[in-house]
Amino acid sequence: MLLDLYYLMALMAIIFIIFFIIKILREYERGVIFFLGRFQTVKGPGLIIVIPPIQQMVRVDLRTRVLDVPTQDVISRDNVSVKVNAVVYYRVVDPEKAIIQVEQFHTATSQLAQTTLRSVLGQHELDEMLSEREKLNSDIQQILDKQTDAWGIKVANVEIKHVDLDESMVRAIAKQAEAERMRRAKIIAAEGELQASHKLTEAASILHTQPDAITLRYLQTMVDMSHEHNQTIFFPFPIEMVKAAQKIAEGGE
């Protein structure tokens, strides 16, 4: 009977060791060990031994986390109110700092991302928010990464997901875009007219110095008109008569 009691106590001791002393950490986990309340070391992955109550362990996940930044009301530099939300990708690179230097690093990173988003976007105009999103993402990422470095956190990427505008502002932007398209169309048409006028001037100069070229142009026009399917009746007029008329006119002068 006494022997059975010893076996039972030994079994309970083994169970105690297994569940309270031996810890298993996965490949992406680290254990921050405290000895009598003081930081001792960082262990893992694999099987480690923690002796309670003189040692305590805090698990830290090293995988990249996705932080969804809630929608923020932002006033742009040109006084336009917009609603912006974003997503932040970060991970813990120093478990010791992540546990000791800040309380609840996930919440702290979320709050910092919200304030940084409002601060950075408030320094830019609406057009820059819509057209230079990659640059804004990079600026926010660099600021967050610099500020969270003391917490042992690496901000890998920041992406602005949506920039929502009021209906009145959407209509105003549509009108502005339409006016811009009309302006460009008029400029292109004017440039085309200018280029055409230069070419016509060059052609007139060549035809004036080469009388035979006028005859060739005259014949080409006759050929083109004969191929057209229309009801126009064309009576050829000899070019020699035109030249004679020119000479008479010049003699009369």
CATH code (residue 145): 3.30.479.30
Clarify whether residues 206 and 231 are in a common domain: yes
User: Treating both helix axes as pointing N-terminal to C-terminal, what angle do 167-209 and 211-227 enclose, rounded to 10 degrees?
Assistant: 130
Predicted confidence (pLDDT) per residue in 38-67, tens digit? 999 999 899 999 988 899 999 999 999 999
Clarify whether residues 51 and 107 are in a common domain: no
With 0.75 as the threshold, say if the pTM is over it.
no
Order of strands across the sheet that contains 29-35 = 38-43, 29-35, 55-61
At 164, which amino acid appears?
A: D
The average confidence (pLDDT) of the chain is 82
Of residues 13, 84, 8, 23, the one with CA closest to residue 58: 23
Assess contact for 130 and 77: CB atoms under 8 A. no
120's enclosing H/E stretch is helix 105-121
pLDDT at 164: 84
Clarify whether residues 83 and 157 are in a common domain: yes
Clarify whether residues 86 and 160 are in a common domain: yes
Q: Which residues pair with 59 in a beta bridge?
A: 31
Beta-carbon count within 10 A of 77 CB: 13
Q: Give CA–CA dist 190/196, Å, rounded.
A: 10
Clarify whether residues 132 and 210 are in a common domain: no
Please say which residue of 42, 60, 78 terminates a domain: 60
Clarify whether residues 200 and 246 are in a common domain: yes
Residue 151 DSSP one-character state: G
Clarify whether residues 138 and 177 are in a common domain: no
Beta-carbon count within 10 A of 142 CB: 13
Instruction: Name the pLDDT band for 10 (thresholds 50, 70, 90).
Output: confident
pLDDT at 90: 97
Q: Which residues pair with 75 in a beta bridge?
A: 81
Please say which residue of 60, 75, 94 terminates a domain: 60
Clarify whether residues 55 and 135 are in a common domain: no
Clarify whether residues 35 and 78 are in a common domain: no
pLDDT above 70 covers a percentage of the chain that reads 74
Clarify whether residues 9 and 39 are in a common domain: yes
Please say which residue of 165, 186, 202 terminates a domain: 165
Question: Domain count of the chain?
Answer: 3
Clarify whether residues 208 and 179 are in a common domain: yes
Domain of 89, in residue numbers? 65-165
Clarify whether residues 196 and 222 are in a common domain: yes
pLDDT at 102: 94
- Secondary structure E strands in 122-218: 153-164
Predicted confidence (pLDDT) per residue in 153-212, tens digit? 999 999 998 888 877 665 666 666 777 778 888 888 888 888 877 776 776 676 666 665
| Distances 192 to 33, 187, 201 between C-alpha atoms, Å | 77, 9, 14
